[in-house]
A and B are shown apart, each in its own frame.
Chain A
Amino acid sequence: MSFINGIGLISPQKTVAPTEFLEEVAEYTADYLRCIEPVYRTYIDPIQSRRMSRLVKMGITAAKMSIAEAELAMPDAIITGTGLGSVEDTEKILGDLIITEKFLNPTPFIQSTYNTISSQVAIQLKCLNYNSTYVHRTFSFESGLIDGLMQIEEQTASDVLVGAIDEMTMNHLQITRRVGQWKREPVNNLTLLQTKTPGALAGEGAAFFVVGAEKQVSTYAMLQDVATCININGSFRPDSFLRDFTGKHGLSLQDIDLVILGLNGDCNHDPTYLQFANQYFPGKSLAWYKHLCGEYHTATGFGLYVAANILKHQVYPGILHLNQVRPTRLKNILIYNHFRNVNHSFLLVKGC
């Protein structure tokens, strides 16, 4: 069994030092949702952080927050997921590089390496244990969780630190806008679903979770299972998948109390979620969260934060409600995400 024992989250919401879970909601009218960054010197030596790029600082800080909350001395594994790594550093190199092939500062090159944050966390913690980084679109964080859960199952690790980190920049937004990934103009995040236009609202975030084999005082919930399903030429069959996925844990679809969906405001892709919910979870409570954090490759990190807090605090804040149905209990939560109907992922979280 695996328990979420500590969470650190830097997001466009006030998640660094929250008073209550999502009691105060940050409203934006913006091109993308940008993280509210903490005062880093509380977490990182200013001399060290001077050369760190923004995502590296966010990642290290979120990792340290989660470890502090779990009161963990040393993780047995540090695993991160990131769709694009440090976009800022990559762009610096591409900018310097292309015309002249002359650039002298190695720092952006070093930091653009995808495993920079998992290794920087290791350096900060002096952690000599297992370290890995997954870089597969919206499977990045989920792959990291699958790796971590498997190590707990094999008993080669008892506490794993798993992170979900991605950032947005104005350049990257401009580029990916051209392929129709994002809204063409600034939108209000709280009325995102009313836009009914193509493109999502972009966002970013750094979330770290301490997942342990033992329940403790700080435990939020049980992370029962994580799955990724790739849909190549119609290979993904939700009905048989869902039956197996929940059945493995002695659950039927009826036992799911709340389904958290990854709707992101893109009128081309949101219907997939609603059809899924109508078909497999009719009459169930449905929640969403990407109006709070925006869409990015590792946004399910925010989704898992939401599920863990709902279960721990036994509250279901109104800002998350997607439909009018109220759950009769808050016990089993399913988080469902998809990217372009190709990368489907599921997280099963249980209260304890």
Chain B
Amino acid sequence: MLKRVYITGIGITCAIGNNVEETLQSLLSEKSGIGEITLFSTRHKGIFPLAEVKMTTKALLENTGFPGKKNITRTTLLGMKAAKEALVSAGIQDIKQYKTGLISATTVGGMDRSEDFYAGFLADPRKGRMIDIVNHDCGDSTERIASYLGISDFVTTISTACSSSVNAIMFGSNLIKTGKLDRVIVGGTDSVTKFTLNGFNTLMILDKTGCHPFDENRAGLTLGEGAAFLVLESEDIAVKENKKILAEVSGYGNANDAYHQTASSPDGTGAFLAMSKALKMSGLEPGEIDYINVHGTGTLNNDLSEGIALERIFGDIVPPFSSTKGYTGHTLGAAGAVEAVISILAINNQVIFPNLNFTTPMKELHIRPVTVETRHAASSLIETRHASSSQIETRHASSSQIETRHASSLRVEIRHVLSNSFGFGGNNSSIVLSKYETGL
């Protein structure tokens, strides 16, 4: 019998908050973390906005208890901070009490410092400070986070571009289900680097005005940085320890688009398969999903392909959905975990965070995300529905055809959330997170 997997702790550091509470407050007040570059040094300053974590590396060093240390990268520090918050939130005092693993995801590891090294090295192969290159590889950040948390039973790192940390959640869940570990800290971390900013720029998929996910006039993504971690625990120990359960990992799926190294297929095959697998594992019907936190990067290609896949799965009744990248930017290797934390906040606060920067529906799609305006309409719909419990009256409450679709699918309660993360290489992953209900 496979064990169930519960989430008992969360931690996050991103552009809209240095911790879970700040992040929640920014989401509730619809405050974006995207803005003019302030900390990161680049010639693109003033051209592209970024979603930077509003803490200097020096402040992160002090926060994590390593003031003045020179050999820890920003990626690692962000990860340490978020992972520590997750542990504290789960009320874990003795990490050795149960068999515990750490699975972290990153797309660039210590690249922020490798860039500094190369500047010296290219001028003279004997030059370049070694302290800037020894933390280059992805495993370095994970091992430092593990050491910081005292985790030694199982440690590894995943890198599958922008879906990396959903794959970390999946692998961690599998390790618990099969009884190999009791508890796994899963998530991801990435800092902004010249490497990624310039890399995405060569692909011409950066929006100079900040991302507009699912909007007809979207022009690309906005890079962000950050880290998020979740504490996964087996049902055995969650029950034994009488843990507060934030959510259950009820389903997940990974599929490959097998279409193109960077472009998504026109019919959204990989996205469709990933969502289908996740739904199948959860045992839920598509109609039981209350909210979808879409990948929604704001690139022409992703949002079209993902939108088509959503319509293929959910038909005429696509659940309320939003991309939260208008708040956090695209945090790459951390994105899946960042959005899992946001999805858990949606479940625990029974609120859908609206899609920012949306004005015009995409002409190829019948659907549109929940926006600031439609969310307020939605809450009045919820009240209407509460009062009458009649589906018909709910429909009456909305005027436009598009809103009717939402109205008919909107639920009073958020019990099941689907979260998508899709990456280069056609790496598509989806998870279903469910509200914990005793007796289920």
Are A131 and B137 in contact, CB atoms less than 8 angstroms apart? no
Q: Which of B109-152 contact A (CB under 8 A)?
A: 109, 114-115, 117-119, 121-122, 125, 128, 130, 133-134, 137-140, 142-143, 146-147, 150-152
The interface residues of chain A lying within 8 Å CB-to-CB of B139 are 83, 135-137, 139-140
Chain A, range 219-251, C-beta contacts under 8 Å to B: 228, 230-233, 235-236
Contacts of B426 in A (CB 8 A): 119, 122-123, 131
Contact A125 B258 (CB under 8 A): yes
How many angstroms from the CA of A136 to the CA of B106 in the assembled complex? Answer: 11
Segment 143-160 of A: residues with Cβ below 8 Å from B: 143, 147, 150-151, 153-154
Task: Report if B43 contacts A (CB, 8 A).
Answer: yes
On chain B, the residues within 8 Å of A123 by CB distance are 258-261, 426
Cβ–Cβ < 8 Å partners of A106 in chain B: 199, 202-203, 262
- Contact flags (1/0) for B158-194 with A, using CB distance below 8 Å? 1111000001000100110110100000000000001
Please state if B255 and A113 are interface contacts (CB–CB under 8 Å). no
When the two chains form the complex, which single residue of B155, B156, B157, B159 contacts A115, counting CB atoms closer than 8 Å? Answer: B159
Q: Which residue of B lies closest to A124 (CB)?
A: B258
Q: Mark B45-88, 1 if CB is under 8 A from A, else 0.
A: 00000000000000000000000000000000000000000000
Q: Using Cβ atoms and an 8 Å threshold, which residues of chain B touch A132? A: 158, 160, 167, 171, 254, 427
**A297→B155 CA distance, assembly (Å):** 15
User: In the bound complex, do residue A114 and residue B160 qualify as a contact, i.e. CB atoms below 8 Å apart?
Assistant: yes
Question: Which residues of chain A come closer than 8 Å to B198, judged between CB atoms?
Answer: 93, 97, 101, 103, 109
CB contacts (< 8 Å) of B314 on chain A: these are none
CB contacts (< 8 Å) of A231 on chain B: these are: 152
Task: Give how many A-B residue pairs fall within 8 Å (CB-CB).
Answer: 197
Whether B171 lies near A147 (C-beta < 8 A) is yes
Interface presence of A129 (CB below 8 A): yes
> Shortest CB–CB separation between residue A249 and chain B, in angstroms?
15
Asked if B424 and A119 make an inter-chain contact with CB atoms under 8 angstroms apart, the answer reads yes
Among candidates B42, B157, B270, residue contacting A134 with C-beta atoms closer than 8 Å: B157
Q: A154-B177, A174-B125 are in contact. Are A83 and B258 (CB under 8 A)?
A: no
Q: Is A178 interfacial (CB-CB < 8 Å)?
A: yes
A349 within 8 A of B: no
| B42 and chain A: residue at smallest CB distance | A101
Interface size of B in residues (CB-CB distance below 8 Å): 69
Q: Mark B402-430, 1 if CB is under 8 A from A, else 0.
A: 00000000000000000000011111000
The interface bits of chain B over 315-345 (1 if a CB of A lies within 8 angstroms of the residue's CB, else 0) are: 0000000000000000000000000000000
**B175: chain A residues within 8 A (beta carbon):** 150
With A and B bound together, what is the CA distance between A150 and B134 in angstroms? 32
Cα–Cα, bound, A143→B160 (Å): 14
| Residues of A268-315 contacting chain B, CB below 8 A | 297
Q: Smallest CB-CB separation from B106: which chain A residue?
A: A135
- What are 24 A-B interface contacts by the 8 Å CB criterion? A84-B137, A94-B114, A97-B118, A114-B160, A115-B159, A115-B424, A120-B261, A120-B425, A122-B425, A122-B426, A123-B258, A123-B426, A130-B256, A131-B160, A132-B167, A133-B158, A134-B156, A134-B158, A136-B156, A136-B157, A139-B139, A175-B128, A178-B130, A230-B155
A122 to B300, CA, bound (A): 24
**Is there contact, CB below 8 Å, between B152 and A230?**
yes
| Least Cβ–Cβ distance between B336 and chain A, in angstroms | 13
Give which listed residue, A93, A118, A134, A140, contacts B425 with CB less than 8 A: A118
Residue in A93, A94, A143, A232 whose beta carbon sits within 8 Å of that of B152 in the complex = A232
Question: Of residues 164 to 208 in A, which have CB atoms within 8 Å of B's CB atoms?
Answer: 171, 174-175, 178-179
Question: Contacting B161 at CB < 8 Å: which of A84, A113, A143, A175?
Answer: A113
- Contact status of A126 and B167, CB under 8 A, knowing A97-B115, A118-B425, A232-B152: no
Residues of B close to A233: CB separation below 8 A: 147, 152
> What residues of chain B lie closer than 8 Å to A85, measured between beta carbons?
159
B427 A115 Cβ-Cβ under 8 A: yes
**Which single member of A98, A118, A147, A236 contacts B118 (CB below 8 Å)?**
A98
Let me know if B440 is at the binding interface, CB within 8 A: no
Q: Smallest CB–CB gap between B148 and chain A, Å? A: 10
Q: Which of B121, B194, B425 contacts A97 (CB 8 A)?
A: B194
Distance (Å) between the CB of B185 and the closest chain A CB? 14
Whether a CB of chain A sits under 8 angstroms from the CB of B98 is: no
CB of A99 within 8 Å of the partner chain: yes
A142 to chain B, nearest CB (A): 8
- What size tier do the contact residues of chain A reach? 35 or more
Report if A325 contacts B (CB, 8 A).
no
Please indicate the chain B residues that have their CB under 8 angstroms from the CB of A113 in the complex: 107, 159, 161, 424-425
Which residues A59-112 have CB closer than 8 A to chain B?
A: 78, 83-85, 93-95, 97-101, 103-106, 109-112
Min C-beta distance of A112 to chain B, whole Å: 8
**How many angstroms between the C-alpha atoms of A231 and B199 in the bound complex?**
36
Asked whether A115 lies within 8 Å of B137 as measured between CB atoms, the reply is no
Least CB distance, A154 to chain B, in whole angstroms: 6
A127 is an interface residue with CB less than 8 A from chain B: yes
Which B residues are in CB contact (< 8 Å) with A228? 154-156
User: Is A114 in contact with B258, judged by CB distance below 8 angstroms?
Assistant: no
Shortest distance from the beta carbon of A82 to any chain B beta carbon, whole Å? 9
B254 and A130 contact, CB distance less than 8 A: yes
B137 touching A128 by the CB < 8 A rule? Answer: no
A170: nearest chain-B partner, CB-CB? B125
Q: Given the complex, which residues of B lie within 8 Å of A118, measured CB to CB?
A: 160, 425
A36 contacts the other chain (Cβ, under 8 Å)?
A: no
Contacts of A49 in B (CB 8 A): none
Contact between chains at A150 and B180 (CB < 8 Å): yes
CA distance A47 to B300 in the complex (A): 27
CB contacts (< 8 Å) of B427 on chain A: these are 115, 119, 131-132
Known A136-B138, A228-B155: A105·B258 in contact at CB below 8 Å: no
Given contacts A134-B156, A230-B143, A230-B146, whether A78 and B256 have CB atoms under 8 Å apart is yes
- A230 CA / B153 CA spacing, docked (Å): 7
Question: B120: nearest residue on chain A (CB-CB)?
Answer: A98
CB-CB < 8 A to A101: which residues of B? 42-44, 194, 198
B257 within 8 A of A: yes
Name the B residues within 8 Å of A84 (CB-CB): 137
Partner of A105, one of B44, B138, B202, B260: B202
Interface assignment of A322: CB less than 8 Å from any CB of chain B: no
Closest chain A CB from B298 CB (angstroms): 18
A116 to B137, CA, bound (A): 16
Q: Is A26 an interface residue (CB 8 A)?
A: no
**Chain A residues in 8 Å Cβ range of B194:** 97-98, 101
Which residues of chain B are near A319, meaning CB under 8 Å? none
Q: What CA separation (Å) do A171 and B124 show in the bound complex?
A: 11
Give the CA-CA distance A133 to B146 in the complex, in Å.
Answer: 20
Q: Is the beta-carbon distance between B258 and A115 smaller than 8 angstroms?
A: no
Asked if B202 and A103 sit within 8 Å, CB to CB, the answer is yes
Inter-chain CA distance A97–B114, complex, in Å, is 12
